[in-house]
Amino acid sequence: MTGSWLVIQRIVITSLYKLLRLVFITVQSIFWQLNGTARKIREARLPDNYERSAQVLDVLLVHQFCDNEPPTMDNYLCTHNRFEHPQYIIDNESITLMIINERHAVFGEPDEKGKQAHCTLPTTGPALTNPPEVIDPVKKLLSQDGRH
């Protein structure tokens, strides 16, 4: 294929992915409202619920228009798995920081085949506006363990 056909192919695949993601997120939001997951996510953001503030998501599908761009949460279709203590991130050597934005720090955990299997989002604290605030839950855990 020539370069222009590859670009057209990427645009079509990305458009189909974005449409699929829109439908998926809409259905998932309704389902989470009905089964109580949305309420649990809101509660996990409260400072009193630090022990269960890391949301573990199962990655169903990943798509990026360009592999050289940094990933965003829009590149992933995920389902809720469970909530964990943020210590889960520190205790697992295979977990890697993938995305930092104003709302979340996203950590990735590969499955046995080396592909992305889980995303973990610490959900506590105020709206995150800079990297030190994003890393704060990790620093707190390290200082409690005497590692920092």
User: Which ranges constitute the DSSP H helices of the chain?
Assistant: 3-35, 37-44, 87-91, 131-145
Tens digits of per-residue pLDDT, 81-118? 888 888 888 888 888 888 888 877 888 887 765 555 55
Residue in this structure with the two tokens 């991130």, named with its chain if needed: 89
State whether the Cα torsion 17-36-120-109 is positive or negative. negative
Q: Pick from 15-19, 39-43, 71-75 the range whose average pLDDT is largest.
A: 15-19
Cβ–Cβ < 8 Å for 44, 51: no
Per the structure block, which two tokens stand in for 62? 């990943």
Record the pTM: 0.68
What ranges do the domains of the chain cover? 3-145
Q: Is 66 helix (H, G, I), strand (E, B) or coil?
A: coil
